[in-house]
Amino acid sequence: MIIGLTGNIATGKSTISNMLETKYNIPVIDADKIAREVVEPGEETLSIIAETFGRQVLLIDGTLNRKKLGEIIFQDASKRETLNNIVHPAVREKMDMKKNSCFKKDLQP
């Protein structure tokens, strides 16, 4: 069984997720965490973002300059869509990998 947990800010999603993991030992796949993972240094998604929006979106240590990227995408809906078209498939792919891993272990994600 797969359960999707969504909701607005401060509605208890993190509390429920933590409870599912710690109290019931149920694997939780967190799209927000994965979205941060796919833009870490060395990840293909971060390279594509830098190629698309310029090296200005990287900090000196090679991490994503979220503030600079935000300035770019929140001024231009088409650039925001471009970013979403880069990040969302990577997030979905990693979520699917984690889900499949849980099923192989006979766990329910």
**Residue spans per domain, the chain:** 31-104
pLDDT score, position 108: 52
Contacts of 13 (CB under 8 A, 6+ apart): 5, 6, 7
Tokens representing 40 are 């870490």
pLDDT bin (cut points 50, 70, 90) of residue 47 is very high
Q: What does the alpha-carbon distance between residue 75 and residue 9 come to, in Å, rounded to a whole number?
A: 23
Please state the pTM of the whole predicted model: 0.85
Contacts of 63 (CB under 8 A, 6+ apart): 40, 41
Mean pLDDT score of the chain, rounded to an integer?
94
Q: CATH fold of 31-104, please?
A: Rossmann fold (3.40.50)
Q: If you average pLDDT over residues 77-104, what whole number do you get?
A: 96
